[in-house]
Structure 1
Amino acid sequence: MIYPNAQSMRLGVVMRKAPGVTRWAKWSWKAIAVLPGAAEADWKLLRSDGEAAEYHAATKDLWLYVSDTEAYAHEFGTQSPSVYIVLRPTKGSSDGQLDVVHVTVSPYEAQDYCDSGEEIVEKVAMPPAVYAWVRDFIEAYHVEEPFVKRRRNKQRVDRKDDGIGDRRISQATDVYRAPVSHPREAAE
């Protein structure tokens, strides 16, 4: 798909598999880095150290959109700008392996994935090459929008009380009338 004024970069995602720290999770998976301009990969072993191993799990496109420059600028205002990696448990995996679903530098988009509860979102440090690319994109397309305070309508709607309640709901009588007691309760 081609979007006007949008840019993309291929990012390889590095996942680390290590022994779990509890008896309920035999293995622990964590996104630890991204590789700018990486070639296609499907769980290519990069390094192993005893039981721990690092894999180039997948390569995904990181897209930057003009409409999201505010989010990118917000991310640059943090202490350490990051790339967010969206992960989902692999179906049928016995060791808790995770599939790489998406990569983004928008904290707003990452929050949307967190809200669903179906994905795991991890952040890794933004490499210098990605930092420079995103910074150039922000400088080229971001337009700071001034804050405009909303003005209230001066019309007073709380002074009129004609006793009919909500006009959209048809009612035969006054909705503010006193309730009528049940005949049995009145006799007692």
Structure 2
Amino acid sequence: MPKLFCRLGIVTVSRKPVTRWGKRGFAPHSVLPDVPATPAGERLSPPGDVELYYAGDFQLMLYSGEAAHYRDNLFAKPTLWVAMRPDDPKGVVMLTADPYEGEARAGDEALVVAALPMPPSVALWVEGFMSLHYKEEVFVKRKRKRADPDALTRGGKRVLDKDEFLP
């Protein structure tokens, strides 16, 4: 199965807890089309109520078998799905352009999953890959075969003719 990959940078956000018993949590914030030279886990904004962190660079894999999913993503609002652990600023677990895989990960209570806007250069790259590998599936309606009433019987026919009745 042909596949292609590129590396993208991910920025996470941390907000001040609502109560004094809460703790800071992290969530995906944005995707960078280019990988900066910043080390993973470094704070990008000054300390405060909302802080941005660079989570690191992660690999976006595209598989030819999922080209129809990428097509669905591009015809809607192009998004990248990022899943991460909420207690680690660089705890990204998944980066994907497949909306169905992203929605599947959203059911995991241990992860924070976000659909982030896809950078335009990445959208062009995904569109190029999709146009090479997408094949339209032609719908073919099957014809129903008439059931044979004698197919499942042992021995004789299920329906007797008029002259076969016993007197």
The two structures have a TM-score, normalised by structure 2, of: 0.76
Instruction: Name the SS for the 1:45 alignment partner.
Output: coil
| Offset of residue 24 of structure 1 | 5.1
Matched, 1:29 2:21: no
Distance 1:126 1:142 in 2: 20
1:1-188 equivalences under 5 Å are: 5-23=2-20, 25-39=22-36, 41-48=39-46, 50-78=48-76, 80-90=77-87, 99-155=91-147
Query: 1 or 2 for the larger relative contact order (CA 8 Å, sep ≥6)?
Result: 2
Instruction: Name the SS for the 1:43 alignment partner.
Output: coil
Letter in structure 2 aligned against 1:63: M
Instruction: Name the SS for the 2:44 alignment partner.
Output: strand
Instruction: Name the SS for the 2:131 alignment partner.
Output: helix
Paired residues, number: 152
- CA deviation string 1:124-164 (max 9, x = no partner): 1101111111111111221111223344443278xx89xxx
Letter in structure 2 aligned against 1:140: L
Go from structure 1 to structure 2 and tell me whether the alpha carbon gap of 1:156 and 1:116 turns closer, same or farther (over 3 Å shift): farther
Letter in structure 1 aligned against 2:136: E
Distance 1:144 1:152 in 2: 25
Contact 1:9 1:37 in 2 (8 A): no
Contact 2:27 2:112 in 1 (8 A): no
The two structures have a TM-score, normalised by structure 1, of: 0.69
Go from structure 1 to structure 2 and tell me whether the alpha carbon gap of 1:29 and 1:69 turns closer, same or farther (over 3 Å shift): same
Aligned CA RMSD, in angstroms, stands at: 2.8
Contact 1:89 1:98 in 2 (8 A): no
Percent identity over paired residues: 29
Unaligned runs of 5+ in 2: 154-167
Go from structure 1 to structure 2 and tell me whether the alpha carbon gap of 1:117 and 1:153 turns closer, same or farther (over 3 Å shift): farther
